[in-house]
Chains A and B, each alone.
Chain A
Amino acid sequence: MTANATDAPRTAVVGHRAGVRRPPRTLVAAAVVTAALFALPGGYVVWRVMGGSGSPLALLASRRTIEPLWRTIQLAVLVSTSTAVLGTGLAWLTTRTDLPLRRLWRIVVPLPLVYPSFVGAAAFISGLAPGGIVHDLVGYLGVDLTTRLHGLTGSWLVLTLFTYPYVYLPVAARLTALPGAFEENARLLGDGPRRVFARVVLPQIWSSIAAGSLLVFLYTVSDFGAVHLMRFETLTQTIFRTRLFDRDRSFTLALLLLVLALLVVAAERTVSRSGRRRGAGLTTLGDRRSLTVPLGRWAAPALAATTSVVGLALVAPAVSLADWGLFGFLRARHGGMPLRLDWHDVLGPTWNTVWISVLTALVATVVVLPVAYLVARHRSRLGEAVNAVVVAGFAIPGLVVALSMIFWTMHASPFEFLIGSMPVLVFAYVVHFGAQAMRTAQVAVGTVPRRMDDAARLLGAGRLRRLATVDLPLMAPGLAAGAGLVMLSTMKELPATLLASPIGFRTLATQIWNTYEALFLPETAILAMVLLCISAVLTWLLVVRRSEHLR
């Protein structure tokens, strides 16, 4: 049995190896250029730090470096731990128990992904502030709410609520794929439900939990908006604050953040790879029904817990924003301060947001496709290496990418014309989000069977005709999904947009940020709701509906 399980994939690999063709030179050249471009921002950070005036080591050891680093790690550990618990718990409840309304929950629970963390943080803070819905409701009861969300607690709460889907989605998918036969066998071998969970289920979903939590860790250390609004100074804040006056410090901290992020991504890759190995062959088992655990008297508490999580993470921010938006309208209607927005101010940034993210998505897809071909079809070592560079690009926080590119354009002599231009912004996005298109592109390339390509070749089709008539049509759905993910991330991205946008280029994200910083909360709410609507449609189409746990 074990011999069988380990032999099968190996022979499959050998069999595939036989059909592998040496990659065409154009493909190799394209991949090398891609790698060079993706390595540029990170490489420039390293180069700046090495060539800086002060000693980077002395900077690193100073208290003003250690403190933000410590706060960053503290927050990231807290958030990833709490999301691990929350995400796993919700995943188990919605996939493995008779929780009432669980079909609904499966759709609703991952939806907080819709909120960019800074929008969520803004919604929470403004809800509690005077004029916010919570403050006012409590006010009717005669209590003057003075509690404000800020600092570590605020950041932790907000980031936990908006990032737990990163754990929930992979764990729920794994739990759904895990055949009930394992648990049934464990029961027959004499374990009670609790011990079955600990001895059979947990080891199987462990890698998914770990991979999800590491993604949350990465998200937290890279986060800029939420911690800024919560006035909690993590590395990203210090880098942002010192970028103009103390560039050596800014770049040294950027390098520190970069290394931290790379370590996290490396760990995530290792964990999920080992998880895939362990899970290999699972899907070949015939019986895919999974066991349902009756909750009994725990049904009510479980329902209450699920409802309150979804209420806090999904409903509360929406209500808070809607309340502010409505307030703004009513105030203007009744002759109060008019809204500082007209249609033009909403449609302009919306249009900018849409086209820049569509453009980014297209560029990213085209750029990663040669690499995906090298990896998935030609099994090339070079392809793997370039892939690693692209994935590393995903690890580099948007803030660092943008910062690096801005200073690079300012100092690289033939490229000054790029300063503050649209290509730099798109480039920063592509480097930061290309990896998201890469995963789906590799899957898409993998879904076109080699025989299909061979068949077309033998029927006389040259490389371009094969690409146009066989590969692209077959890959289209996968590539579109990857492009969609890049689009979604791009429109939610704040720091890179703030830093790298050409002067006067307004997107929804930057406008939400600016109106909030200027304390025009109704205007913030209206713009945020527009962004949320677009983001919700894309999240539904690309993340929730496609996720395996719904099947």
Chain B
Amino acid sequence: MPTTDTHTPILGSSAATHILLGMLNRRIHVPRAAAEGLEVSDLSVAYDGPPVLTHVSLEVTAGEIVALLGPSGCGKTTLLRTIAGLERQQAGTVRLGHRILDDGTRFVPPERRRIGMVFQDGALFPHLDVGQNVAYGLPRAERRSSRVADTLELVGLADMVDRMPGSLSGGQQQRVALARALAPRPGVLLLDEPFSSLDTSLRVQVRNEIHHLLLELGVTTVFVTHDQEEAFVLGDRVAVLNDGRLAQVGTPDELYRRPVDRWVAAFVGDANLISVDTAIGICRTVVGDVPVVGDVDGPAELLLRPEDIRVEDGDDGVVELVEYYGHDAMVQVRLDDDTTIRVRTGAVLTHQRGDRVGVTYVGPGAVALGV
């Protein structure tokens, strides 16, 4: 590690100075200043057949972390690759900071976009060692500088410079891939399902580490996931894509509490949808009175999240299924009118399969979705 402090020797040798200057050095290398805003407007992409993306517009402010969430095949990876310039768009504009990357007339090729990308499996160059991988994107003069060591230290792998990618664990590979993408100080960082190749226990750990790092560095980040939890945990905002269109963009709680339609409602979490003739003020339903958020004058569905309902002794229906998760449990109740309601309860089970129970709405109010 002392080799990284190439600027320090002239300034004395006291340990404190050394450490302080080391930190200063690191500060200088942090690409905070590089973060840029990303703007995608009215983007359409089609391969030989039907369109993959239709009129997608998304604005990411500098330093923000945005998750692209959607089912497989919805076009989220295509959106990411189009931003990177790896796919060509049919229409629309991609802008990074003040630079137009593609507006149909000008096309900046990927190698000149200053965009960092981490692929699903890392895509480390297997024939280059960790240090060479990280140095790959640096200008020739910088490849031998402390930049490589510094970036590796950011991801906590400073001692792995000489290792070959094949000898690293999946989590380490992903962190090297991140270091490689960050080293050239990209304006925006794109992550394509970066945790999906890791097994469950490791995934949460690596995710946390990377989350901290991204926040610390203030990198503008767009990442793709099909995992709702991952999107909510990491994303400052979440953009939900469905079938090539942006269904909704918002903070995680906006999406969860106030989805724009029943598809988003069901995609971002468990949803009980109760049909009502008209949703104004307070609605009388099978689970009791429900205050309505966003009145709909006419037939509508109320979105009742499972944790907003309580199961108690009563006579509304029968417990059909109990899924016990440890930290909580999901109880599915078949009401006497044959609708089923899913209820999230605490870890202490009060009712069992076959019990007759009552269900009551206890939440702050339900969003009404027009049908």
Contacts and interface: CB of A to CB of B under 8 A. Distances in A.
B324 interface: no
Interface stretch (B89-97, B118-126, B341-349): B118-126
Contacts of B84: 454, 458
B320 interface: no
Given A18-B78, A19-B86, A457 B123 contact: no
A460 B112 contact: yes
Contacts of B47: 17-18
Interface residues on A, range: 20 to 34
A455 interface: yes
Given A459-B137, A459-B180, A451 B119 contact: yes
Nearest to A457: B110
A267 to B, nearest CB: 31
Interface string A427-456: 000000000000000000000010110111
Contact of A454 (B52, B119, B126): B119
B110 A451 contact: no
A455 B52 CA distance: 22
Contacts of A470: 125
A474 interface: yes
A461 interface: yes
B252 interface: no
A462 interface: yes
A193 interface: no
B137 A460 contact: yes
10 contacts: A18-B47, A18-B87, A451-B121, A454-B119, A455-B123, A455-B180, A458-B115, A460-B111, A461-B111, A474-B127
A54 interface: no
B113 interface: yes
Interface string A471-506: 001100000000000000000000000000000000
B291 interface: no
Interface string B178-210: 001100100000000000000000000000000
A31 to B, nearest CB: 21
A461 B115 contact: no
A457 B111 contact: yes
Contacts of A21: 86
B107 interface: no
Interface string B12-27: 0000000000000000
A547 to B, nearest CB: 24
A459 B111 CA distance: 6
A458 B127 contact: no
B117 interface: yes
B112 A454 contact: no
Contacts of B109: 457
A443 B120 CA distance: 23
Interface string A160-185: 00000000000000000000000000
A458 B111 CA distance: 5
B192 to A, nearest CB: 9
Contacts of B78: 18
A44 to B, nearest CB: 38
A356 to B, nearest CB: 31
Interface string A7-39: 000000000011101000000000000000000
Contacts of B120: 451
Categorize the interface residue count of chain B.
20 to 34
Q: Give the interface SS of chain A, mostly helix, strand, loop or mixed.
A: helix
Q: Which of B47, B81, B123, B180 has the most CB of A within 10 A?
A: B123
A219 to B, nearest CB: 37
A276 to B, nearest CB: 24
B233 to A, nearest CB: 25
A456 B136 CA distance: 8
B117 A458 contact: yes
A463 to B, nearest CB: 9
A460 B184 contact: yes
Secondary structure of the B side of the interface? loop
Given A17-B48, A458-B84, 11 more contacts: A18-B47, A18-B87, A451-B120, A454-B84, A454-B117, A458-B111, A458-B117, A458-B181, A461-B111, A461-B137, A470-B125
A18 B192 CA distance: 15
Contacts of B112: 460
A104 B113 CA distance: 57
Given A459-B184, A461-B111, A462-B111, A454 B86 contact: yes
A457 B110 CA distance: 6
B365 interface: no
A457 B119 CA distance: 13
B222 to A, nearest CB: 13
A473 B123 contact: no
Contact of A461 (B48, B121, B126, B136): B136
Interface string B155-195: 00000000000000000000001001100100000000000
A21 B107 CA distance: 15
- Of all A-B residue pairs in the complex, the 4 with the closest CB atoms, nearest first, are A459-B137, A451-B123, A457-B110, A455-B123
Interface string A352-391: 0000000000000000000000000000000000000000
Contact of B116 (A449, A456, A458, A461): A458
A456 B180 CA distance: 10
Contacts of B87: 18-19
Nearest to A455: B123
A90 B110 CA distance: 54
A454 B127 contact: no
Interface in A176-216: none
Nearest to A452: B123
Given A459-B184, A474-B126, A18 B119 contact: no
A325 to B, nearest CB: 45
Contacts of B116: 458
Contacts of A473: 127
A17 B181 CA distance: 25
A445 to B, nearest CB: 16
Contacts of A459: 111, 136-137, 180-181, 184
A474 B128 CA distance: 10
